[in-house]
Amino acid sequence: MRSLVICLLILGLVALPQGLLAAMSSTNFQIQWDTVSTGGGDNASSATYQLRDTSGNQAVGDVSSTSYNIAAGYRQGVFDQILAFEVYAQSTSTVRAATSVIGTTVSASETGISEGDFVAVVENLGASQVVAVGQVASTGAGSIVVDRWTDNGTFPTIDGTNDFLYILSGSTIDFENFSVSAVKTAVVAMLVSTDMTLGYTITVFDDGDLRDGLESISDIADGTVSAGSSEYGGRSSDSSLVSSTFDTQDTAFTTSAQEVVTVTDPTFDDRTFVTLKAAIDSGQASGTYANTLSLVVSANY
C-alpha cells in the first residue's frame, strides 16, 4: 500500500503601490484627505459596495510638477486598495459520484454539503480530467446548485461514468493510496478580489521534492504526468500565462516562484484553480510522501 500526502501552506502577500499624498498629521492623528464643500461627506456601504459622497465640486482637475500631483475635485484622492485572497483545497474523503450537470445544478449526493461551500465537479477522473468549480447556492434531494461555474476553457461533460464531485476546503490534500495503473489528482481553487487597475498575479513554489525520508518522487520533466512513472506536477486553469508552462502542460513545482495565474484587470470574486497530479512506478518504495506548496498573490503595478 502506498500513500502520499501533500500539505499546502497558503501564503497571502499584499503588495500595493503607494500614492503621493499630502497628508496632515500629528503624533496621534492623520488627515489623509480634506475637502472644501457645501455638504455631504457621508459614507454608505453594503456587503459589496461603498459610497463616499460630497456636495460641491469646485476647482476640478489635475495639477502636477516633477515631485507633486494635485487631483482636485470629488474625493479623487480616496482609494481603498483591496487585494483579498482565499484558497480551497480538495477534500478527497468527500468524494461522491456525479451523474449529470444541467446549467448550475449537479446531480449528486448533497450529504455534508452546505450553502457557501466550494465544490469541484470532475469529468473522467485521472490524468486527463476536466474540472469546473463553483460555490454552493443551495442543495436539495440528490442535487447541488452552484452560483456559477469556472473552468479552464472546457466545461466538463458529466454522464456518470468516472465523474465525481468534491468539497473544496482546508489547506491539506491527501491523495490517499496509489497504484501504478492510475494518476492521482487533486484540485486547489483560488479566490481573489482586487481593485488594482492592472489586476494580480499568483505564483507557486515548494519546499523540495515529494519525499519520505531519503525516498522521493521526481518532478515531472516531460510535460505529462503518466501512470506507471514516478512523477509529480500540476497544471493551471489559466490558459494565457506568459512566464511559465503551467497553462499548456503538466509542470514541475520548484523552490523558485512560478506564475500560475495572471489577471490584468480589477476583479471581484475571481476564481481559478490548479490541478495537482502525481503517479508512481512499480519500484517506488512504500511510505507517506509529503511536501509543502506555497501560493502567493500580489498586485500588478
pTM: 0.79
Q: What is the pLDDT of residues 10-29, one digit of tens each?
A: 555 555 544 444 456 677 66
The b/e string for 71-90 (b: 16+ C-beta within 10 A; e otherwise) is: beebbebeeeeebebebbbb
> 26: burial class by Cβ within 10 Å (0-12, 13-18, 19+)?
exposed
211-218: long-range pairs with CB below 8 Å, 24+: 211/289, 211/290, 211/291, 212/285, 212/287, 212/288, 212/289, 212/290, 213/287, 215/284, 215/285, 215/287, 215/289, 216/289, 217/4, 217/278, 217/280, 217/284, 217/289
Q: What is the pLDDT of residues 86-138, one digit of tens each?
A: 999 999 999 999 999 999 999 999 999 999 999 999 999 999 999 999 999 99
Give the mean pLDDT of the chain: 86
The whole-number average pLDDT for the span 256-270 is 95
**Contact status, residue 101 vs residue 134, Cβ threshold 8 Å:** no
**Contact status, residue 287 vs residue 2, Cβ threshold 8 Å:** yes
Q: What is the pLDDT of residues 210-234, one digit of tens each?
A: 999 999 999 999 999 999 999 999 9
Q: What is the pLDDT of residues 35-91, one digit of tens each?
A: 666 666 566 777 777 776 666 666 667 777 877 777 776 666 555 678 899 999 999
Rounded CA gap, 259 and 237, in Å? 12
From 59, 82, 66, 71, select the one nearest 32 (Cα to Cα).
Answer: 71
pLDDT exceeds 60 at position 1: no
**Contact status, residue 299 vs residue 17, Cβ threshold 8 Å:** yes
Q: What pLDDT score does 89 carry?
A: 94
Handedness of CA 135, 46, 296, 202 (dihedral sign): positive
